[in-house]
Amino acid sequence: MKYEIMKRTSWWSFATFIILCSACAASRNTQPSIAVSPTDDNSQFVSISEAVPDAILEIRYYSTYNFVGTRIDGYEAPTALLTRQAAEALRAVSDDVRRQGYRLKIYDAYRPQKAVDHFVRWAADLPSTTMKPYFYADLDKSVLFVQDYIAEKSGHTRGSTVDLTLFDMRTGKELDMGGTFDWFGPESHPDFCGNPETGEYTGDNSKSPTDRSITAEQFAHRMILRRAMLAHGFKPLYSEWWHFTLKDEPYPDTYFTFPVRQLVGR
């Protein structure tokens, strides 16, 4: 009798276990997965010129002065767009640096997926190296994918990332950052020749394949921009001193597809 009771109890426990496991599996299968979703809805975007009226725009991908050498697909006007939240945070950055004697200069902000696709096609076209001396002189074009300079997705396409520098109101020129926007190489890294966490200049240029370097003043200029951006809710990218993304970006899983153009009626 005792054996029978134990036998029935064991069977019931096993059956209960199976039912619970099945329920858990079903629950997992019905949970909404986090997916990257494309959309052409621009209703939550604003023009940087509207949010930050004193920002200077030099939209490189609307021009031919970029690493591709032609206007990039999806750039239909020399304007810059951001999500409302990112634009508000950028205005706070602008107020901050203006008190220090600088203005923001914008190279790029929201970037449609069509533009990213253009970069990918260009990177696969190895003979096309018109702008190599200006943007990737130290690299063979064949490594741009491998070293993550070109990728099939970009944070810019989520609408809360901006590429920018500082304009010195005293001299009437861009602040000297020791390197050009979109330079492909370790010289563009925030930690090149210094420690961005402490702001200390070390002069260590050992990462440069051709012994390039930047001065203590140039590193300090990069830090002025970095400190202002971080103080107002942006986070940096490890490989580009000019690139920042809003920490609490509103659309972390959405890739927008609408072109860069003037927003009508806003």
Question: CB of 243 within 8 A of CB of 160?
Answer: no
**For 108, left (φ over 0), alpha (ψ -120 to 50), or beta?**
beta
Q: Is 240 a catalytic residue?
A: yes
User: Tokens 């002025």 correspond to what residue?
Assistant: 224
CA distance 112 to 63: 16
Length of the chain: 266
CA distance 205 to 211: 7
CA distance 246 to 265: 25
Question: CB of 47 within 8 A of CB of 79?
Answer: yes
**Among 50, 174, 197, 240, the one annotated catalytic:** 240
Which residues are annotated as catalytic? Answer: 240
